[in-house]
Amino acid sequence: MNPVLILLSVVVLSLSACAQVERAEITSDRDEETAGARLYAQYCSVCHGNHGRGGVGVPLALEDFLESVSNQYIERTIRLGRPGRVMPAFPRLTDQEVQAITEYVRSFHWADEPLFSSEPVEGDPELGGKLFIAFCARCHGANGEGGEGTGVSFSRPTFIPILAPALNNAGYLASASDQVIKRSLALGRERTPMRSLSAMGLSEQNIDDLVSYIRSFQTLSADRAAIKRPVDAVLVQQSPHSYEQTIERIRQAVVNSGHSVVREELLGEGIVDPGEGERKQYVVYFGSLQIISDGLAHDPRMGLFLPGKITIVEHAGVVKVLASNPEQYTALFNNIALSDFAAMLHGIYLAIFKEATS
Amino acid sequence: MISRVGLCRWLGTLLLLLVPGSLWASDLLMVRSQLASADVQPRLEEEINALGYFTANARRVDIDLVGAGFARGAYRSITYGKPDEIKALSERYPELTPFLPPQIAIIDERGESLLVALNPRYLAEIFPHPKLADIFERWHRDLQMILENIRDAR
């Protein structure tokens, strides 16, 4: 065979192979984008919005946010979540999945991942504490517990694009390196209430002091992050009264507790034929506009449990009143801001049960 | 060598798509729909009915709130179930009644909708009765399908 032909064949084959490799790379990149988009749609868009504009979760498509956090910050946030602050942890996602989601989130704003030094910041936490009270506590809380409430529509004015994050949260502190915190403080976040502390006149040493103070929250956060389910998911109380009397006593107890009966019906009305046998399962919905409004303000997903619901059943000759235990809501919604509200609701249920079954 | 890397990445991507979603392993099932809550409600009823469940109490809940000056935005609710199943479960397991019939909340978010339901697998955890496990698992499967269809509806 002609050596020139052989050489040409080799060159052509090599070029062809290179082209295939390039196509394979592009296809693979597109696959990763697609995978990232699919995973984002599956796991993230429900709270953060289809285009990262936020919702129950904070907006991600903020230029300043993406320019001041590392991929590692995003990946750890996905892995660890924010215990007690709505964002769940995703421990079962593979590393590849987490990376694909991170790349997709990064694509909301086309810029390279910012580089961060791994050097820890050295500052004076005591001085930082004073600066924190002066510059940060108004939004982030005196102990870095963050702003109250979640959700765009229900819990805060829509002109505020994000809530102040909880800086004492174990998930945040484990995700954000010192340098990530430092850059966020120095640059702030445009189009959010978070202003640049450098622009406000703080020196680099001041900001280092603040970082050291925020880092000191790490020792406090573990206990605060512990959200446990209550032992009993259902509140139940036996009634010494007849089924009919118990229903009437529940109505009266609801009113005496300062609330209204919103509606009442046989359990499953509209689904189960009311004419089928003598069913002794009755539901009384109750509440007040203030309670419903407060519950939704804490977390719009509370709509799943509001207004309050009490069932009265007669089973094997025994009359009982039952309700889902509000103390499970904090864990269910991963929202520690619901704790006091849930405890208050729990108290209302117990008071109604006690009066109706006494 | 490079094409092997490409192959590995492709296989990795394929793996990503095959791994079951852990969103559904949480205590809540939630999806976002691009439809407004008023449009989601009838679609949701259709999807629920298509799987043999009846719907009831489909309503906008926040109207009184808005009327009284507690303006918060639209929030709807719908309950569903199979008549024989709801009847039998509520009679045999009265402790289940606070969670019956299952409910889906629809929360309006700037023209889109957030749908939230208690994961039936959560009920399986708090009521670990062997006879209930299969029912809750089927509810989970059906609810997942219903919500996915709503999520993808345009």
**Domain A234-357, architecture per CATH:** 2-Layer Sandwich (3.30)
Predicted confidence (pLDDT) per residue in B65-102, tens digit: 767 676 666 789 999 999 999 999 999 999 999 999 99
ipTM of the complex model: 0.82
* Residue B113 to chain A, least CA–CA distance (Å): 9
Letter string b/e over residues A14-35, b meaning 16 or more CB atoms within 10 A of that residue's CB: eeeeeeeeeebeeebeebbeeb
B37-50 vs B130-152: helix crossing angle, rounded to 10: 130
pLDDT tens-digit readout, A184-208 = 999 998 777 889 999 999 999 999 9
Residues of chain A with CATH 3.30.310.70: 234-357
User: What average pLDDT does the segment B52-65 reach?
Assistant: 84
Q: Mean pLDDT throughout A311-333?
A: 94
pLDDT grade, residue A231 (50/70/90)? confident
Mean pLDDT score of chain B, rounded to an integer? 81
| The residue count for chain A | 358
Residue B74, by phi and psi: left (phi above 0), alpha (psi -120 to 50) or beta?
beta
* Rounded Cα distance, B60 and A14, in Å: 66
> Is A270's CB within 8 Å of B79's CB?
yes
Cβ neighbours of B118 in A, within 8 Å: 304, 332
Please answer yes or no on whether A151 and B34 come within 8 Å at the CB atom.
no
Q: What is the pLDDT of residues A254-272, one digit of tens each?
A: 999 999 999 999 999 999 9
* Residues carrying CATH 1.10.760.10, chain A: 35-225
A81-112 pLDDT, tens digit each: 988 888 889 988 999 999 999 999 999 987 78
User: What are the C-alpha distances in Å from A336 to residues A169, A222, A232?
Assistant: 11, 13, 19
Sequence ranges of the domains in chain B: 22-152
Provide the CATH number for the domain formed by B22-152 in this structure: 3.30.310.70
Q: Given CB atoms, is B83 within the 8 Å cutoff of chain A?
A: yes
> Band of the pLDDT at A8, cuts 50, 70, 90?
very low
Distances (CA, A) of B48 to A80, B42, B142: 34, 10, 8
Place of tokens 């139940």: A236
Tell whether domain A35-225 is in CATH 3.40.50.1820.
no
CA atoms of A342 and A331, how far apart (whole Å): 11
pLDDT class of A59 with cuts at 50, 70, 90: confident
- Per the model's pLDDT, the better-predicted residue between B105 and A29 turns out to be B105
- Using 50, 70 and 90 to split pLDDT, how confident is the model at A7? very low
Contact B77 A289 (CB under 8 A): no
Q: Considering only A225-239, B103-117, B129-143, which range has the smallest mean pLDDT?
A: A225-239
